Amino acid sequence: MENVKKFYDALSKDSAMQERAKALDGKDKAAIVAFAKAEGYDFSLDDLEAYAKPLADDVMETAAGGIIFASAPGDEDGAGLLGLSDEDKLSYV
């Protein structure tokens, strides 16, 4: 799970990586895992879901119908890092 955190930390700081990530469907977790691996961050789908679980617990009180997938500094819901539109920002874990 540490590699997931490292991936999101790097993604929050690397504008070129953010641009490449915009092509992803933020709801396709397997695509996120594959993208991360291509960027040098090796983790499983289970690792990604385990990382997202505490985020889900933190925001369930404020998010209706789902959870915010990931957080990063300067991007409260993390959706901008994955190029999600406003209506797609919520993703179920």
For the stretch 66-77, pLDDT in tens is 444 444 455 554
Backbone angles phi, psi at 68, to 5 degrees: -80, 130
Give the pLDDT confidence of 17-73 residue by residue, as tens digits.
999 998 887 788 999 999 999 999 999 999 988 887 765 555 555 554 444 444 445
pLDDT at 60: 53
CB count in 10 Å sphere of residue 58: 13
| 20 CB-contact burial (10 Å; exposed 0-12 / middle 13-18 / buried 19+) | middle
Is residue 88 over pLDDT 60? no
CB count in 10 Å sphere of residue 64: 6
Q: Where are the domains of the chain?
A: 2-91
Q: Could you tell me the pTM of the whole model?
A: 0.59
